[in-house]
Structure 1
Amino acid sequence: MTETRRGAFPRLDTHGIEPVAIERVEAFVFRAPIATPVRTSFGTMTDRPAVFVRITDSDGVQGYGEVWCNFPSVGAEHRARLVESVFRPMLIEHPVVHPADTFHMLTQRTEVLALQSGEPGPFAQAIAGIDLALWDLWARKAKLPLWRLLGGASGEIEVYASGLNPVGAEELVREKAAEGYRSFKLKVGFGRERDLGNLASLREIIGDACTLQADANQAWDLPAAMEMSREFASFDLGWLEEPLRCNRPVAEWRALIEQSPVPIAGGENLADAESFATFIEQRGYDVVQPDAAKWGGISGCWPVIQATRAAGLRYCPHYLGGGLGLLASGHLLAAAGGDGMLEVDANPNQLRTLLCGPIATPKDGRVSLGEAPGIGIVPALNELEERIG
């Protein structure tokens, strides 16, 4: 699995597409105002930022991607500048033979610069957004939906409503259930009594027919995580997400899994193939959650997904951003198959709802991504500012 390119795309199938010359690479920064801040155990979002990438080839075909930029939100503009100042010249100079080749080229050529600047995270996120845009462009040139280009058998996926705050979750769950959701994820890590009370309230509202998950956002050490997992056992949770910090040794995650009555999920904050390989091989997670807008795009995440499925673990993509990255994540899940669910932020965010196509309207907990080429929509980015103002 550490040989990402060969593991993911052994024949580098070009689908008959000749090398693609890139003419334009554009990054757009948007901020959607929100009335209620989004809270986690480590910080709060007071608006919803997004960095969208649009890549145009010499035939005028365009592909769209998204760069992770949630925390701190002031980093959105910085990531956009990285796309345009560091990566645009490389993309224009080098024809794209296959998106996976370009992913590796960009990663290798900027590896020292990312280390020298102390910014491996922002560099990886910018490359991820570019990779998503290139795969979207590739699928559009092949005249295939992205899920089908990647070998998927069906464009139908299961979704769940995520990002439920410790305050106001009951009302939001009722709203999302009425919209068609049948699975929900609550943020925990705000103190034992509050967490247990919130979980009890939500379980009472949704009943036994719906599924419930919890996300601690790296809030605890190992003893606390063990204790809270036992406290959560009675709520029949689908998983407990990131109970430990992502950089804790895999042995701690293994110890937690051995003691926890609740399945353990993680992976959104891993940022290289080797780390994923370690956690998958040593079964440090029950549910593996790479975030394609944060690291890897499709070229990096696809071998992680394949290894996850081969190990008999559950793949559920992490995502908490705008609509373009959400659509790409949905197509990845559809291509992967299995029993995974797509994370859909339940909090208001026009940058998500205006751009996520069919994901905005689930029916009985599922959506169909359809047969339109690429990620399925052509976003009017030049007009978006007026629509969210």
Structure 2
Amino acid sequence: MDTSISSSSSPLRMSRNERSSGASPRAEVLPVGRQTVASRLRAISPSPSLQKPVETFGFDDLKDTFSVDVVAAEARPLNVPLAAPFTIASSRLEAVNNVAVRVELRSGAVGWGEAPVLPSVTAEDQPGALAEAGRACAALAAAPAAPLGAVLQNLSDALPGHAFASARAGLEMALIDAVANSIRIPLWRLFGGASKSVTTDITIPIVTPNEAAQLAAKYRGQGFQTLKLKVGKNLNSDIEVLKAIRLVHPDCSFILDANEGYTANQAIEVLDRLNEMGVTPVLFEQPVHRDDWEGLRDVSIAAMEKYRVAVAADESCRSLLDAQKIIHGNLAHVINIKLAKLGVLGALEIIDAARKARIALMIGGMVETRIAMGFAGHLAAGLGCFRFVLKIMKKCYFS
């Protein structure tokens, strides 16, 4: 299931007619069960190496040297039905209701971005994200030419913090994509050129044991060896789902994602019961509520000391301050980067802090189209520092 992305940077390709007519972009949405996480945690230590990726063009250099002159920018609703409902502990989705952002530079280069919206994760809903992105687009188009870094900083000032992170991410993606297209290099090279591919596993949402078994059998046939399971709504049901999957895919590895659904005691009980079944997850993502810092630490300590299982902070990390709290307090072993909750520049700040602290990284998403997921894939491939990568296929190549 290899896939190539042939555009110079963005995975979204548009015909000339679409660009001139103002039609909404044709975007592929992730089918249910296709949100994925890649790679396996090393047996004991979750800390990544601090190898320096190969710098080919240098995003930081371009922030100072590339002059951005925006001639047109617009935000559009991006509404796409899912092939099947996608259920996690905190929400259930039947369609994607995001915002697409298009930016055109005076050179003619066009970039696309996406503001993903999931109320349990993002502060914005679609109308709010569309309004904020629209205002930012108008400001971009009216502004004089300026260095890329200054333009991105202006966006951060206009759309600050977690409250506007999704809209900010969409604008940042579109600007950076347009710059990459302008100088005709793929995003993975712009972000460091460490690799042009990422390898992933695949997610099973909260479904019945029978449905989970059917999905697991299907994914086993497609070659997926690691399954990410959405859990956290009902502990006993979660265990039954795990048992059903083991019957049809006995050799698979598990990543558990509770999306804040458990208490600390319940999360530890899940690990105990899995151990009785002879199952040790390779990762346990966001086991407790985002603000339950003590519970997160307790689960992290118990999981590592008892079973050598690493715990990831996802919803708990919505800013650099959150990341620093997690790092300095030893609250989790892994930090999950989501562009929708951090923006691109915010994500890069946290990535830098985590790497310096030797905290493992994963890059994730929610239910985005290939616009945002493609950007995240390029970022992960280019930086080469993610132990876990959430993407649409088990292996993706970028050209």
Instruction: Tell me which interval the TM-score lies in, with the shorter structure as reference length.
Output: 0.7 to 0.9
1:82 aligns with: 132
Q: Distance in 2 between matches of 1:182 and 1:57?
A: 43
Q: Distance in 2 between matches of 1:27 and 1:10?
A: 28
Aligned residues of 1:158 and 1:340 also touching (Cα < 8 A): no
- State how 1:224-239 maps to structure 2 within 5 Å: 224-233=266-275, 234-239=278-283
Q: Distance in 1 between matches of 2:255 and 2:186?
A: 30
Q: Distance in 2 between matches of 1:186 and 1:96?
A: 45
2:362 aligns with: 316
Post-superposition Cα deviations, 1:79-127, rounded to whole Å, max 9, x if no partner, equal 11211124531463153412x443332222444xxxxxxxx64522101
C-alpha RMSD over aligned residues: 2.7
Residue 340 to residue 45, structure 1, CA distance change in 2 (3 Å): same
Mean CA deviation greater in 87-96 or 237-246: 87-96
Aligned residues of 1:55 and 1:64 also touching (Cα < 8 A): yes
Residue 268 to residue 222, structure 1, CA distance change in 2 (3 Å): closer
Task: Look up the equivalent residue of 1:186 and give its one-letter code.
Answer: L
2:255 aligns with: 213
Residue 219 to residue 15, structure 1, CA distance change in 2 (3 Å): closer
Q: Distance in 2 between matches of 1:17 and 1:275?
A: 32
Post-superposition Cα deviations, 1:275-302, rounded to whole Å, max 9, x if no partner, equal 11221233322221110133222x2212
Aligned residues of 2:159 and 2:167 also touching (Cα < 8 A): no
1:151 to 182, 185, 192: 192
1:178 aligns with: 221
1:305 aligns with: 351
Aligned residues of 1:253 and 1:285 also touching (Cα < 8 A): yes
Aligned residues of 1:156 and 1:334 also touching (Cα < 8 A): yes
Equivalenced residues, count: 332
Task: Look up the equivalent residue of 1:236 and give its one-letter code.
Answer: T
2:312 aligns with: 265
**Local SS of the residue matching 1:237:** coil
- State how 1:266-285 maps to structure 2 within 5 Å: 266-268=313-315, 270-285=317-332
Post-superposition Cα deviations, 1:278-332, rounded to whole Å, max 9, x if no partner, equal 21233322221110133222x2212312332333332111112111111111112
Which consecutive residues of structure 1, in runs of 5 or more, have no partner in the other structure?
A: 1-8, 112-119, 345-358, 371-389
Q: Distance in 2 between matches of 1:213 and 1:25?
A: 40
Task: Look up the equivalent residue of 2:337 and give its one-letter code.
Answer: P
Kindly indicate whether residue 117 of structure 2 is the aligned counterpart of residue 69 of structure 1. yes
Task: Look up the equivalent residue of 1:18 and give its one-letter code.
Answer: F
Deviation at 1:142, TM superposition (A): 2.5
Q: Distance in 1 between matches of 2:225 and 2:142?
A: 45
Aligned residues of 2:312 and 2:335 also touching (Cα < 8 A): yes
2:231 aligns with: 188
Q: Distance in 1 between matches of 2:360 and 2:248?
A: 26
Residue 189 to residue 11, structure 1, CA distance change in 2 (3 Å): closer
**Local SS of the residue matching 1:71:** coil
Q: Distance in 2 between matches of 1:89 and 1:165?
A: 42
2:71 aligns with: 23
Q: Distance in 1 between matches of 2:142 and 2:221?
A: 47
Q: Distance in 2 between matches of 1:308 and 1:339?
A: 11
Deviation at 1:269, TM superposition (A): 5.2
Deviation at 1:195, TM superposition (A): 0.7
Q: TM-score, normalised by structure 2?
A: 0.75
Q: TM-score, normalised by structure 1?
A: 0.77
Aligned residues of 2:70 and 2:140 also touching (Cα < 8 A): no
Deviant stretches of 4+, over 6 Å? none
Q: Distance in 1 between matches of 2:60 and 2:127?
A: 33
2:41 aligns with: none
Aligned residues of 2:193 and 2:383 also touching (Cα < 8 A): yes
Which consecutive residues of structure 2, in runs of 5 or more, have no partner in the other structure?
A: 1-56
Post-superposition Cα deviations, 1:352-372, rounded to whole Å, max 9, x if no partner, equal xxxxxxx5xx4xx422222xx
Q: Percent identity?
A: 22
Residue 180 to residue 26, structure 1, CA distance change in 2 (3 Å): farther
- State how 1:133-148 maps to structure 2 within 5 Å: 133-148=174-189
2:157 aligns with: 108
Kindly indicate whether residue 246 of structure 2 is the aligned counterpart of residue 203 of structure 1. yes
Higher relative contact order (CA 8 A, sep 6+): 2
Q: Distance in 1 between matches of 2:387 and 2:93?
A: 27
2:43 aligns with: none
Q: Distance in 2 between matches of 1:53 and 1:92?
A: 16
